[in-house]
Structure formats: C-alpha cells, structure tokens
Amino acid sequence: MNQPQEFVVVDIETTGLKPAEAEIIEIAAIKVQNGEIIDIFQTLIRPEYGIPAFITNFTGISENMVQESPPVVEVLIPFCEFIDHLPIVGHNIQFDLKFLNYNTKQYFGQVILNRSIDTLPLARKHIKGTKNHKLETLANYFNIDTTNNHRALKDCYMTLEIYQKLTK
C-alpha cells in the first residue's frame, strides 16, 4: 500500500458506543508531514447530557473538566479545517468516523470523505501472538508509553507510533 507523506492521526473520546445515544467529549488530531509532527489539534467538548461515571473512570474526563469547553457544533468546523483533505489514520478509525460523521451530518448536512487508514487491520495482519489488537496492547508490544491513554491526544501519539512501526 502506498503510504501518504502527509496525513492526520485522529482520535475521539465519547460518552458511549452509539453515535445516536452518546456524545463526543474530546477530539484530537496530529498532522504529520514526511514523518514529522507539524501541527496538533486538541479540545475537550462539553456534552449536552453529561458524562457517565464509568466514562470518567475510563478516560479521566470529568464534568468539571468540560464545563468551560465548547459544544461539539463549535468544534466541528475548525476540526474539519484542520484535517482538510488529508488521509486520516486511526486505530479502529471507523468508530471515530461514525461519531464524527453523525455529528457533521446532523449539524452541517455533510460527512467526512477523506481516505482513512486503520491501524487495527494492519496490526491484525502483521502482529501475531498478542492476546488482542487493542491500542494499549499494541503500545505495550512496541514498548510505547501508555500513561494517560484513553485521552484523545495521547491515543493519537500512540497510534502514530504504532502506524510508523507497522509501515516500516
């Protein structure tokens, strides 16, 4: 597969698993050009319906942290401008795109049509002998620091390192 010279690594954190029932509470993206990070986008998002306790326990994102954050509708345009037309790299990226597209369609009548590159099937193809192919498992496999994982920007960094190792 032809690897792009410029791309964005994207990750989101949500209040649940289904876009129609849950909300995005954090978006992060890392813009990469010729293997170097050239820009970063990251913001917490104030959900309309609050953050369940189990999500706070999982992500570390609390109601207090998002109190002054913008709602998702205010974040989507600058996020879409940031990713532009670039290929999107993510771990299980269809999950993230499902949420992003649900919201962009709801608020703006459009979806994100960028090429996407998913590190999950790449890892399944190239890495054998791990108990699963979750982001944290792969990070441990490659000796990548997992401190503060399940936060969007940290997960972007971990995904970028995994992607770079899988495509060498």
Torsion of CA 147, 91, 83, 108, to 10 degrees: -110
The span from the CA of 65 to the CA of 13, in Å, is 13
Q: Which amino acid is at 145?
A: D
Residues facing residue 120 across a β-bridge: none
Q: Answer for the pair 51, 66: CB distance below 8 angstroms, yes or no.
A: yes
Annotated active-site residue in 85, 91, 133, 150: 150
Q: How many residues does the chain have?
A: 168
The span from the CA of 154 to the CA of 135, in Å, is 11
One DSSP character per residue, 29-41 reads: EEEEETTEEEEEE
**Residue given tokens 């971990």 in the structure block:** 158
The span from the CA of 53 to the CA of 31, in Å, is 32
Query: Does 126 qualify as catalytic in the annotation?
Result: no
Active-site residues, by number, are 150
